[in-house]
Chain A
Amino acid sequence: MSTEGTGNRTPDRPIPIQSTTEPSGAIDFFRDRFDLSEQGLEAVLGTALERSVDRADLYFEYTTQDSVSLEEGLVKDGSRHVEQGVGVRAISGERQGYAHSDEISLDSAQLAAGTARAISETAQSKTSAVAPHASSTHNLYPLDVAPTDIPVGQKVDLLSEIDAYAHRLDPSIKQVMASVISQHRHVLVAGSDGVLAGDIQPLVRLNVQVIASDGEKFEVGYDGMGGRYPLERLMQDEIWKPLVDEAVRVAKLNLQSIACPAGTMNVVLGPGWPGILLHEAIGHGLEGDFNRKKTSAFADRLGQRVASRGVTVVDDGTLPERRGSINVDDEGTASRRNVLIEDGILVGYMHDRLNAELMGMEPTGNGRRESYAHLPLPRMTNTFMLAGEEEPEDIIRSVDRGLYAVSFGGGQVDITSGKFVFSASEAYLIENGQIGAPVKGATLIGNGPDVLTRVSRIGHDLALDRGVGTCGKDGQGVPVGVGLPTVRLDGLTVGGTEG
């Protein structure tokens, strides 16, 4: 580590941290369990600020995760993991120094603070204005019992019921794989500008995958759901049975599906999970870091038309119980609803604090990180398009020959060129306005800044996905949600094997 630096600026002193009323109880959790007093946190921040940095923050995390999984009728694996640690960040202009430790204590935070600040001092320093900042007052996912405290026997029983039910449904089902994953995450953020915020984030998920065979071919069907709600909800018959029905239906459908034609055609996307289109094609390009650095195809396009009239896209971290929701982001900024595109015009980016400050904008509650071992980045929460007025059936009927895609496996985007791709896991041909044969291997490809200008019809049936999305960026995964009403896109390129 270099220890040279300019050091010609009066160091900032931390503003005394004040106790806030914080709905989730995370601040108390860390104070009680790890002795993290407010005075202690201030002392660590003081260490980080002894050299010429603009700002420093501490991020404490304590996460418990358990999972139980079944295959071949046996619950073969149970696992339980605890991840804990503290990350200390020092910021100087555009530069960030980061050090972390997997021991939660004021001592280890002090050592990390010494490392983080020394890193920042290798660079010239400059001042930057800090935006006003308030902790969240909403609690979007209050829980009486942490999902990780539900006895493992109940999770085992659920999986066994799912296995039996799936096999009963259809003799073509050869394999059933199912898992229940529970997570309980405590976070605490303390910043040198007086921020003190915490959150307790439960997260549950149920996955069901089946393999069906017609004696010759094998095909997979998958469905899953989850969110920040009581695990008990997933254990209700009326919740998990439809999930299994769906996985079985998709596997059998895939056995009958034909090769997808390749070429340009009109595409109708069904409601819900196909909102992944917004996430890939638009969302990433509107994250603040890429726009501050002008490496996004959307850079400098605020105020311009990027979508058809009637298209409004929001990113909303405040939806109760949603997988992508957060009370506060991982920098302590309260989550909120951010309009990105309004009636076709680009009106906003998603920001963490650093990029907001550097661009002279407000943080939007999108500063997220996978864990204490990572720097926060601007990330999406729940991203969706608002509903229009058309009947979904009319939208399908309006297409002579095209593709109706109702579910997707995953997608990816090149932020700079704007090119995106995503793969349909359930899609049908549309012929003369009617839904026709199911097709497999359909891939949609397009250009982010242009794809929403191809939206010609918007249904009234906005739906959010069932809580299965994980977004990856810079090697960090965070849970997200997406949503979409039925929409028609004109002239999209569909990749398939039939020329």
Chain B
Amino acid sequence: MSGWNEINGKALVDRAVQRATQAGADQVDSVLVLSNSQEAKVRNTEIETVKQSQERCLGLRAMVAGGKGRSTAVTSTSDLSLDAIDRLAEETVALARATAPDPHAGLPDGPFAEGSIDLGLADPADREVSLETRIEEAKRAEAAARAVDPRIDNSEGSQVGSDWNHIFYRNSLGFAGDYESAYHSIFSEPLAREGDSMQRDYWMSVARRLSDLEGAEQVGREAGKRAVRRLGARRPKTGEVSVIFDSRTAPSLLGHLSACVNGYSIYREASFLASRLGEKIAASSLTLIDEGCQPAGLASRPFDGEGLPTRRNVILDQGVLQTWLMDSYSGRKLAMQSTGSASRGAGSGPGVGTTNLWLEPGPDSWDDIIAQTDKGLVVTELIGMGFNPTTGDYSRGASGLWVEKGEILYPVEEITIAGNLGDMLMDIDRVGSDLRWFGRTAAPPLRVTQMTLAGE
């Protein structure tokens, strides 16, 4: 396993593009992902697994002109020998000739990203931090979780991980760029037990720089508190109640919504929002932003999967739907411009993805939201896949806390909450003031006036 320093990534993507062009491609782009990761899991007081890996993958997209457009193929390989890349280039072009010409296929027209903007996506000093140091953090998180309560007597472990990536991109229209990024995490998942009842919960922190991670003790403690809080859960009765999504579950609603503003879903008419551009589709308190160029953002990158600059896209402005998220292909299909939202791995062609996606915080403190809820459910965890982007129908398994007359009374579980995302967005009547990032997507706590709860 040789180090990546020996690999000349720029030269490899150059060669792939050049060879595919020579083989007859009209337009080509290539992406090379070099990644390096280590992770360790501690359970109770012992190390359970330690894993180290180095991966590399070169992806190639070739388009051949003919008929009424360009036909496309995408290939990838982890064999980076020059022979293998040359062979891949020939195979890709041959495969492209077998697919159908598409008038909308093609590289973006530009303008491509300029230079390499440093978004602070990795701190070189973090490479010097040994895995032993990180393992100690996992041990401290594990110990902190246990110290919360004697009823925490087991765990699924506390995990630490660091990934480093170096991405190289080149296309046949002359754009080339590369950037490095890092992703560090700490995660703790303790179990609490009381009588026959056993509950797990978790807490985590992720960041581009180690120094931005929450402290290990804090992660363990929060995870422990959440696990203990679930003991003795009851099942509320079926009925209509207010539903409060906390900072950990509210982002899932943005995830569902983003699937419905994805340019591909729009031209396929697979989104319930397909005909609603420019209309008010959500409460006026909702402003939703996707911004790929935030410094140190967990999903930031200087250019998107097609070499276009990343930017700030306002999807909802005070409840009004402003734009779809598009790459160049879905943009052409909709007679619009790419929003710089192409996401791309080495093993696939471009698609549309969100970057740093968040909802602007509102005026309400968490305590106020609870205090102003007469009867409702605080959702702390959701399971299942019950969302249909074509219709907006929403029905998921939930667990959380029961609220009556402004107070949290007891934990609840084995329930579902159901509604339609379109109605839910309009019915949001409280937006919290606290915005916390647990990943690429963040939302403050949100209250939906009424949803159907199925329980006992």
- Taking Cβ atoms with an 8 Å cutoff, the residues of A that contact B are 1-2, 68, 71, 74-85, 94-103, 108, 111-112, 115, 119-120, 122-123, 152-153, 156, 174-175, 177, 211, 213, 217-220, 260, 262-264, 293-295, 297, 373, 375, 409-417, 419-423, 440-443, 445-447, 493-499
Contacts and interface: CB of A to CB of B under 8 A. Distances in A.
A98 B75 contact: no
Given A95-B46, A375-B49, A80 B75 contact: yes
B156 A95 contact: no
18 contacts: A76-B72, A78-B95, A101-B1, A152-B95, A219-B390, A260-B418, A293-B154, A375-B49, A409-B386, A416-B198, A417-B198, A417-B200, A421-B384, A423-B395, A441-B393, A443-B416, A445-B384, A499-B239
A196 B99 CA distance: 41
Contacts of A415: 200
Contact of B99 (A77, A414, A417): A77
Contacts of A152: 95, 98
Given A409-B386, A415-B200, A440-B393, 13 more contacts: A71-B268, A78-B73, A80-B75, A80-B91, A103-B1, A120-B50, A123-B46, A152-B98, A220-B390, A416-B191, A417-B199, A497-B419, A497-B452
Interface in B171-200: 191, 197-200
Interface stretch (B76-84, B286-294, B353-361): B76-84
Nearest to A122: B47
B52 A99 contact: yes
B415 interface: yes
A442 B418 CA distance: 9
B53 interface: yes
A309 B120 CA distance: 62
A262 B418 contact: yes
B56 interface: yes
B298 to A, nearest CB: 17
A218 B385 contact: no
A130 B146 CA distance: 33
Given A294-B154, A416-B198, A493-B416, A423 B386 contact: yes
A496 B349 contact: no
Interface string B289-310: 0000000000000000000000
B47 A263 contact: no
Contacts of B197: 417
Nearest to A294: B154
Given A77-B349, A79-B73, A443 B397 contact: yes
Contacts of B391: 217-219, 440
Q: Which 8 A-B pairs have the closest CB atoms?
A: A495-B416, A421-B397, A421-B384, A262-B454, A416-B200, A102-B78, A495-B454, A119-B50
A419 B72 contact: no
Contacts of A295: 154-156, 191, 198, 200
A441 B395 contact: yes
B384 A412 contact: yes
A484 B292 CA distance: 46
Contacts of B388: 220, 440-441
B395 A81 contact: no
A373 B270 CA distance: 35
B414 A445 contact: yes
Of A83, A295, A410, A446, which is in contact with the most chain B CB atoms at under 10 Å from its CB?
A295
B383 A414 contact: yes
B386 to A, nearest CB: 4
A94 B46 contact: yes
Given A98-B52, A293-B43, A82 B420 contact: no
A120 B49 CA distance: 9
Given A152-B98, A220-B270, A293-B156, A375 B51 contact: yes
A161 to B, nearest CB: 14
Nearest to B450: A499
B240 A410 contact: no
Contact of A98 (B51, B77, B135, B385): B51
Contacts of A83: 78
A412 B383 contact: yes
B54 interface: yes
Of A175, A373, A441, which is in contact with the most chain B CB atoms at under 10 Å from its CB?
A441
Contacts of B22: none
Given A101-B1, A414-B383, A441-B393, A373 B55 contact: yes
B396 interface: yes
A263 B98 contact: no
B49 A96 contact: yes
Of A100, A152, A262, A495, which is in contact with the most chain B CB atoms at under 10 Å from its CB?
A495
Interface string B126-142: 00001110010000000
B89 to A, nearest CB: 12
Given A68-B99, A81-B75, A84-B79, A99 B53 contact: yes
Interface in B81-117: 91-92, 95-96, 98-102, 105
Contacts, number: 262
Contact of B395 (A84, A175, A442): A442
A423 B417 CA distance: 12
B218 interface: no
A123 B45 CA distance: 11
Contacts of B156: 293, 295, 416
B386 A98 contact: no
Nearest to B53: A100
A337 B103 CA distance: 52
A263 B425 CA distance: 24
A2 B105 CA distance: 52
Given A2-B132, A75-B99, A96-B48, A85 B454 contact: no
B455 interface: yes
Interface in B345-375: 347-349
A78 B239 contact: no
Given A262-B418, A498-B452, A98 B50 contact: yes
A177 B238 contact: no
Contacts of A80: 73, 75, 91-92, 95
Given A1-B131, A76-B100, A95-B49, A419 B413 contact: yes
Nearest to B51: A98
A375 B50 CA distance: 10
Given A108-B1, A443-B397, A262 B95 contact: no
A477 B105 CA distance: 31
Contacts of B349: 77, 79
B118 interface: no
Contacts of A447: 414
B453 A153 contact: no
A449 to B, nearest CB: 10
B269 A115 contact: no
B76 A81 contact: yes
A299 B407 CA distance: 35
A410 B384 contact: yes
B414 A493 contact: yes
A177 to B, nearest CB: 7
Contacts of B417: 495
Contacts of B46: 94-95, 123
Given A78-B98, A417-B200, A101 B393 contact: no
A373 B99 contact: no
A82 B77 contact: yes
Contact of A79 (B79, B348, B454): B348
